[in-house]
Amino acid sequence: MKIHIIGIGLIGGSFALGIRSAFPDVEIVGTDASETNLEQAKQLSLIVNSAEIEDVKSADVVIVAVPVNVATEVVKKVLDHISDYTLVFDAGSTKAQLCEEIADHPKRRNFLAAHPIAGTEFSGPGAAIPNLFSNKTNIICEVEKTAFKLQEKGLEIFQKLGMRIRYMDPQSHDRHIAYVSHLSHISSFMLGKTVLEKEKNERDIFDLAGSGFASTVRLAKSSPAMWSPIFQQNKKNVLETLNEYIHNLSEFKKLIENDDFQEVYREMERTNHITSILNGIN
């Protein structure tokens, strides 16, 4: 099997490591806008060689792991060059715009819209993790629009990487992901901004920061080049989640201002229920 990965960063590189482990005879080539990334990917044996997008015509599977603001054009270009038997899937955090814009492409049947909910705050080929996708959920959208044989090819890869599969329409995907992923990144970025602006002496931050602060602000180390386009593409849903979040913060602030700490306690106690939900997921 020949795999062509476009975008050899954390996600693309982790796919390379996972697939090579699951399919020992695989040949993996890569395309990236950064020559540095390509060289590093070769040094790390993520890929055997670099390739141009046009070379996808010889691939059995093409994985598009690029920022969402360029994903649509990349997917279109890939679909223009592939054979009838090539599976193409992406890994982007937004789905509605991409699915809408490729809906009428002659080779839409070759494309599987996917979103593996996995990652870290790090980026680049050096951030790739062999088992990144193990026990992670992979959301697939509009599966009915993908040729059945190609669906099977994709599902074999996902299952061998240890993913759980969920099916969802693109609009629902973008709405739900705004709550559980996009909002948490915004919260982390803004917490980091607030602390940096208040604590001009950075030594104080490092000396006083505990594990709670570190875990909450961890996502603020994520790549702006990846996340700014996500917020732009999912603007409507992100604004809705932000409005609700800001409302809850304002209400919590009022409780503290009014010395209503019994209700503060009850609010936190009610929210503790999320632990049982997350334990059920994990």
pLDDT tens digits for range 99-122: 999 999 999 999 999 999 998 888
Residue 282 pLDDT > 80: no
273 pLDDT tier (thresholds 50, 70, 90): confident
Residue 197, pLDDT score = 80
Residue 206, pLDDT score = 65
CATH code at position 185: 1.10.3660.10
pTM: 0.89
The reply to whether 186 and 103 lie within a common domain is no
The reply to whether 127 and 183 lie within a common domain is no
The reply to whether 164 and 183 lie within a common domain is no
Burial 115-149 (b: 16+ CB within 10 A, else e): bbbbbeeebbbebbbeebbeebebbbbbbeebbee
The reply to whether 193 and 78 lie within a common domain is no
The reply to whether 239 and 115 lie within a common domain is no
Q: Are 154 and 112 in contact (CB under 8 A)?
A: yes
Q: Are 121 and 222 in contact (CB under 8 A)?
A: yes
Q: Which residue has the higher pLDDT, 206 or 225?
A: 225
The reply to whether 21 and 127 lie within a common domain is yes
The reply to whether 28 and 140 lie within a common domain is yes
pLDDT tens readout for residues 123-175: 999 999 999 999 999 999 999 999 999 999 999 999 999 999 999 999 999 99
Residue 281 pLDDT > 60: no
CATH code at position 81: 3.40.50.720
Cα 13 to Cα 7: distance, rounded to the nearest angstrom: 8
> What long-range pairs does 236-243 form, CB within 8 A, spacing at least 24?
237/174, 237/175, 237/177, 237/178, 237/182, 238/178, 238/182, 238/183, 238/186, 240/175, 240/178, 241/178, 241/179, 241/182, 241/183, 242/183, 242/186
Residue bearing tokens 């540095």 = 36
Q: Are 5 and 31 in contact (CB under 8 A)?
A: yes
Residue 203, pLDDT score = 67
The reply to whether 54 and 114 lie within a common domain is yes
195 pLDDT tier (thresholds 50, 70, 90): confident
Residue 206 burial (CB < 10 Å; 0-12/13-18/19+)?
exposed
Domain boundaries, position 35: 2-168
Task: State the DSSP code for 133.
Answer: T
Residue 107, pLDDT score = 98
Q: Are 69 and 98 in contact (CB under 8 A)?
A: no
pLDDT tens readout for residues 63-103: 999 999 999 999 999 999 999 999 999 999 999 999 999 99
Which residues is 27 bridged to in the sheet? 2
The reply to whether 35 and 156 lie within a common domain is yes
**Total tally of structural domains belonging to the chain:** 2
The reply to whether 53 and 162 lie within a common domain is yes
The reply to whether 120 and 208 lie within a common domain is no
Q: Which of 110, 133, 168 is the last residue of a domain?
A: 168
Q: Which residue has the higher pLDDT, 158 or 203?
A: 158
In 3D, which of 184, 150, 175, 6 has the Cα closest to residue 96? 175
Cα 204 to Cα 207: distance, rounded to the nearest angstrom: 5
The reply to whether 143 and 274 lie within a common domain is no
Q: Which of 168, 190, 220 is the last residue of a domain?
A: 168
Q: Are 119 and 127 in contact (CB under 8 A)?
A: no
Residue 280, pLDDT score = 62
Residue 218 pLDDT > 70: yes
Spell out the alpha helix ranges (H) of 62-210.
Answer: 68-81, 96-101, 148-160, 170-177, 183-198, 202-208
Cα 46 to Cα 25: distance, rounded to the nearest angstrom: 14
pLDDT tens readout for residues 27-42: 999 999 999 999 999 9
pLDDT above 70 covers a percentage of the chain that reads 94
The strand pair at 27-31 and 164-168 is best described as: unpaired
Residue 270 pLDDT > 70: yes
Q: Are 116 and 91 in contact (CB under 8 A)?
A: yes
Residue 256 burial (CB < 10 Å; 0-12/13-18/19+)?
exposed
Q: Which of 168, 193, 216 is the last residue of a domain?
A: 168
Two tokens, residue 77: 């270009």
Least confident of 147-161, 218-232, 239-253: 218-232
